[in-house]
Structure 1
Amino acid sequence: MSTFKDRLKLGKDARKDCPRSSQNEVGNIDRDPIPLIQNSSEGRVKSLVELRYGRMLVSPFTFYRGNALLQAHDLASTPNMGMTFPICGDCHLMNFGGFATPERNLLFSVNDFDEVHPGPWEWDLKRLIASFAVAARDLRHGASVEEQVCREVVASYQKTMAICANQSALDIWYDSITYEDLLEQAKTKATIEQVERSMQKAERRTHAELLPKMTAIDEHGHLTIRDDLPEIFHLHHATSLLDASDDWLTAHSWHSIYDTFMRDYRATLAGDRRELLGRFEVQDMAFKVVGVGSVGTRCLVALLTDNQQRPLFLQFKEARQSVLARYIKAKPRARHNGQRVVEGQRLMQSASDLFLGWTTGPNGRQFYVRQLRDMKISAELETFDADTFAAYARVCARALAGAHAKASGRAAEVSGYIGRSDTLADALLRYAKDYTDQNEHDFERFQQACRKGRLIARSEADFAADHLP
């Protein structure tokens, strides 16, 4: 077995073929972004693709969030140190946040794994640092804050990876970031208040709190999920946004779809969790539109209740091929995309959702399953001052480095490559600035395509207006 020094040297030697300064390259950007955007929309619910484009059209930042495929295409031609292991694949700053462990502890980590796939760790770090640069410019923080948050990202990743390089495998496996950790590290009153508000908000985001917001009693006295277009709709109601030719509409009701989901899902849970799930009975199921990049993929939420009518909301989210798959020769171990997402999440997080599992739905589409909104919280960037924004950059990078160290077992090699200097930080700062410029250029071409009708974009208000009485 190689020694710690051997592994550090292996990382350092990788600089010969991939100098850290070469990490500033933005890749193959001599392309039309529109065909790539259209390609990423294939297989989605057609009417909801228009909503996806509407959300991407809001700002350069929502555009950046909405299309991970475009940056994956560009990154494919950039240098990397040659080390491939499971990475997030869509590591922008809004894919981090708080969530509850099965023991009801509140942790902070990467919380979106739809695109998880073996790949170069640099791709995650580059998508993260560019997202901070794009967001800082979009929120008009100024050039100095833009540079500060980018440097905070690299410095925190570098520091955390160096710490992980000296830790045992078990220490890395069990390490986590609690909200108490965030409070201890907060440097300003404003940041402390942000963390405290997030903790209070998380405590309220339970299934019981969600029940009156999402449900109603129908004319037969049954508890049902309330339609809220375009966010939530029933598959077989007049308000459905599924295309008339959609194969799911051949089912007479949602019950057969739910039964198909549950057939395989239960077997992916541990025995004690199958027992717990068995204490709930399903009441209703509806389609739920989520996020920006996921809009148009199939996502359903089921309402279950126990014998005291206490709720459990389960989310069935479509798992498609990772956007990285076409650009990386390495293959994930799992052939089922839902299993790929679940195993990636379990590998990269220190703890995961109590009901996390996977299943195959009607017509062979693949899904993963988790609880809906259970103590899950995301950053409210518009409320961040410069210090809080920098603090958030540090904690995201720390979480990413910890996830990479846990997933790979190669922290020493990565740390050896990064080293102690600012060489990588300087290169990635240039990358982030240049890619932010490129993102704005792509956004302008996207706006033009929508104006000329090459792409059709519609807002939430447009969809709601279609169904006004």
Structure 2
Amino acid sequence: MFIDKSTETKLREIVAETLYKTDERSPEERKAAGKALRETVPLGSHATWSAPEDRPDPVALLKEQGESRLQELLPLRYERMGVSAFTFYRGGALIMASDLSNTPATGINVQACGDAHISNFGLFSSPERRTVFDINDFDETSIGPWEWDVKRMAASVEICGLDRGFSKKERKEAVLASVRGYRESMLEFAAMGNLDVWYAHIDIDEVTSAFEDKMTKKEKKQAAKAIGKAKSKNSTRAVAKLTEVVDGKLRIISNPPIVIPLRDMASAAKSAPWIKLLDTEKIVKLVLAAYRKTLSPDKQMLIRQYHGIDSAIKVVGVGSVGTRAFIIVMQGADCEDPLVLQIKEAQESVLERFCGKSNAEQHGQRVVEGQRAMQTASDILLGWCRLPGVDGKKRDYYVRQLWDGKGSVDLERIDAKHLAVYARACGRTLAHAHARTGDRFGIAGYLGTTDEFDKAIAKFSRAYAAQNEADYARFQEAIAQGELQATMALPANDEQKSQGEPQPAESE
């Protein structure tokens, strides 16, 4: 049935009013209602995971997800996912969302991250230029159950610990720390006023102070160096890393297929015909024009003070590989005043097929508005747009600064004691995002003050880590048999993995 634009807008307003309708019950009433949910969804019910008989094949889900992506880049995506069971997990958000749809849930929804594994937390600079710790990936954000984010986070701690070779006890302690951080923080936020919750944040001083009592003098020095590196990770550094001066002009360095400057499109298209499908130069120009309109007037004024110098395709991430992504280097007052923007395609969230469509009219808008709702302070230049592609299909994009004080914990080298501290910080951060966007009183009332929920999620995490190992083996088999194509062979054993695996992709 055809629905005209005004009717569609009205329907969205009704949905929005339903989702975000003010709950006029008192905090005590909402906590009591949350506690009562334990009768229908016992805390211990979250402990179990067993694959249903009709569970979709994980490889089939990856293939399905790949249908809307650039087919020639999928082998690179599978290569990055194939490095380890942990990188496979990072790229398998759809697989886990499908599984979580068969697990218990209280019915309390939040603005969920949708991909809250621990690699998607880290440092970035707030508009006030303080370094904060927060969630840093929102491609899958949508309205969904708070439990799904908690389970994806906790399972990622377990899987990371397995990848690092930690003992069962060490992994359990780290997982329990992540869930305890979530539960205790939610109880804390439930005792605060709305504005106090909104303004709360985790800055780098809070994170480092939690680490310091477990750090040696050498480790403290290394941490300070990492923080300094994150603070310096901005457009100036991006320009230094990604560009070179040729004939007196700044140019993006070509590194196909990861980075392909627009000026190389014609020659690159001869060996990679898929590039023609991008109509890249047109996309970049149209995106920037449309994107500006989604910024506030003062930010529009700011962005107009820059002009483009060079732009390129830039493949990023693990799960994102195959979606369309570009960068544009811009110059302000002079060559010492650069700005690097990333233009990234936004597709349907993995949550939407199980939790219902987002209220946003565009997926780029869904990402940006979800990020603004969940993060303490977001990039001032976040925006979005929708454009038709050369194939006639409309595609959604969001735009942000490529680097803005970005930093992350090195999970490939982290030890067990620091994983537990880091996991707890992730749990607190996730609780803050959910407290900002959902019924913190109901969730707190449901969780309670005991560790019953923590222990249940720890059991779930162990069971799901085993499922992930089985799915990873299925994935490796699909590569070996040619069912999926990867750009290079998967590591055959730990020794080969340590010597020859590609470095983990940056999160952007």
Counterpart AA for 1:295: V
Q: Which moved more, 1:71-80 or 1:376-385?
A: 376-385
How far does the alpha carbon of each residue in 1:429-463 deviate from its partner, in whole angstroms, 9 at most, with x for none?
11000000010011001101100101101149999
Are 1:401 and 2:431 matched, yes or no? yes
The answer to whether the 8 A contact 1:96-1:108 is kept is yes
Aligned match of 1:203 in 214, 228, 231? 231
Computed over aligned residues only, the root mean square deviation of the Cα atoms, in angstroms, reads 2.0
User: Is 1:368 aligned with 2:398?
Assistant: yes
Instruction: Give the Cα separation in 1 of the matches to 2:37 and 2:274.
Output: 53
Q: Residues 270-324 of structure 1, C-alpha deviation per residue, up to 9 Å, x if partnerless?
A: 1111111111100111011111000111110000001311210000011000011
Distance 1:196 1:433 in 2: 33
* In 2: Cα distance, 1:217 partner to 1:332 partner: 44
Measured at CA, do residues 242 and 133 of structure 1 come closer, stay the same or move farther in structure 2, by a change above 3 Å?
farther
Separation of aligned partners in 1, 2:488 and 2:286: 33
The DSSP-based 3-state class of the residue aligned with 2:123 is strand
Match of 1:8, as an amino acid?
K
Displacement of 1:362 in angstroms is 4.1
The answer to whether residue 304 in structure 2 is matched with residue 278 in structure 1 is yes
Q: Which residue, 85, 103, 106 being the options, matches 1:60?
A: 85
1:237 is displaced (CA, Å) by 4.2
Aligned partner of 1:259: which letter? K
Tell me if 1:217 matches 2:242.
no
Counterpart of 1:152 in 2: which secondary structure?
helix
Whether the 8 Å CA contact 2:261–2:310 is kept in 1: the answer is no
Alignment partners' CA distance in 2, 1:94 and 1:224: 31
Partner Cα distance (1:420, 1:344) in 2: 29
1:149-205 deviation line (CA, Å, top 9, x unaligned) = 010011110110000001000001111110011122222124644542331111221
> Could you tell me how far apart the structure 1 residues matched to 2:471 and 2:268 are?
34
Distance 1:414 1:143 in 2: 29
> C-alpha separation between the residues in 1 aligned to 2:128 and 2:271?
38
Counterpart for residue 390 of structure 1: 420
Given candidates 358, 361, 365, the residue that maps to 1:332 is 358
**Aligned pair 1:344/2:367, yes or no?**
no
1:439 to 468, 477, 500: 468
**Correspondence for 1:48:** 73
Structure 2 residue 345 is matched with structure 1 residue 318: yes
The worse-fitting range, judged by mean Cα deviation, of 181-190 and 378-387 is: 181-190
CA distance in 2: counterparts of 1:38 and 1:431, whole angstroms: 27
Residues 240 and 112 of structure 1, relative CA distance in 2, 3 Å threshold: farther
Which residue of 2 is the match for residue 173 of structure 1?
Answer: 198
Does the CA contact (< 8 Å) of 1:28 and 1:73 recur in 2?
no
Q: Is the 8 A contact 2:83 2:501 kept in 1?
A: no
Using a 3 Å threshold, how does the CA distance of structure 1 residues 71 and 322 change in structure 2: closer, same or farther? Answer: same
1:158 to 174, 183, 191: 183
The equivalences for 1:76-95 within 5 A come to 76-95=101-120
User: Which residue pairs with 1:109 in the alignment?
Assistant: 134
Conservation of the 8 A alpha-carbon contact between 2:171 and 2:416: no
1-structure distance, mates of 2:331, 2:74: 33
Q: Which amino acid aligns with 2:245?
A: I
Q: Distance in 2 between matches of 1:241 and 1:41?
A: 23
Q: Distance in 1 between matches of 2:52 and 2:465?
A: 12
Check if 1:230 corresponds to 2:233. Answer: no
Structure 1 residue 136, shift from structure 2 partner: 0.2
Assess if the C-alpha contact under 8 Å between 1:260 and 1:360 holds in 2: no
| Counterpart residue type for residue 18 of structure 1 | V
Amino acid paired to 1:42: E
- Which of residues 444, 450, 466 is equivalent to 1:421? 450
Q: Identify the residue that residue 17 of structure 2 maps to in structure 1.
A: none
SS in 2 for 1:448: helix
Distance 1:242 1:40 in 2: 25
> Does the CA-based 8 Å contact 2:231-2:406 persist in structure 1?
no
- 1:202-250: per-residue Cα shift (whole Å, max 9, x none)? 122121122222112335x43221112332113514335995256645x
Which residue does 1:307 correspond to in 2?
333
The runs of 5 or more residues in structure 2 that have no matched partner are: 1-23, 490-499, 503-508
Is the contact made by 1:27 and 1:77 (CA closer than 8 Å) also made in structure 2? no
Contact persistence 1:47–1:242 (CA under 8 A) = no
2:330 and 2:338 in contact (8 A); partners too: yes
Instruction: Supply the distance in 2 between the matched residues of 1:245 and 1:231 (Cα, whole angstroms).
Output: 14
Following superposition, the deviation at residue 8 of structure 1 comes to: 0.8
Helix, strand or coil at the partner of 1:373: coil
Partner SS for 1:365: strand
- Partner SS, residue 15 of structure 1: helix
TM-score w.r.t. structure 2 length?
Answer: 0.86
Equivalent pairs: percent with the same residue? 38
C-alpha contact 2:155 2:461 (8 A) present in aligned 1: yes
Counterpart-to-counterpart distance in 2, 1:55 and 1:255: 28
Which runs of 5 or more residues in structure 1 are unaligned? 464-469
Structure 2 residue 343 is matched with structure 1 residue 294? no
For residue 9 of structure 1, what is the aligned residue in structure 2?
Answer: 32
CA 267–194 in structure 1, closer or farther in 2 if over 3 Å, else same:
same
Choose 19-28 or 102-111, whichever is displaced more: 19-28
Could you tell me how far apart the structure 1 residues matched to 2:50 and 2:299 are? 45
| 8 Å contact from structure 1 (residues 214, 225) kept in 2 | yes
Alpha-carbon displacement from aligned partner over 1:342-377 (angstroms, at most 9, x marks no partner): 000000011000211111234221011100112101
Q: Which residue of 2 aligns with 1:467?
A: none
Distance 1:29 1:227 in 2: 47
Which of 174, 182, 189 is the matching residue for 2:207?
182
- Whole-Å separation in 2 of the counterparts to 1:412 and 1:169: 11
Separation of aligned partners in 1, 2:271 and 2:326? 12
* Kept after mapping to 1: 8 A contact 2:329/2:338: yes
What code does the residue aligned with 1:4 have? Answer: P
**Matches of 2:274 and 2:473 in 1, distance apart?**
34
> What's the TM-score once normalised by structure 1's chain length?
0.93
Distance 1:217 1:197 in 2: 29
Q: Aligned to 2:412, what secondary structure does the other structure show?
A: helix
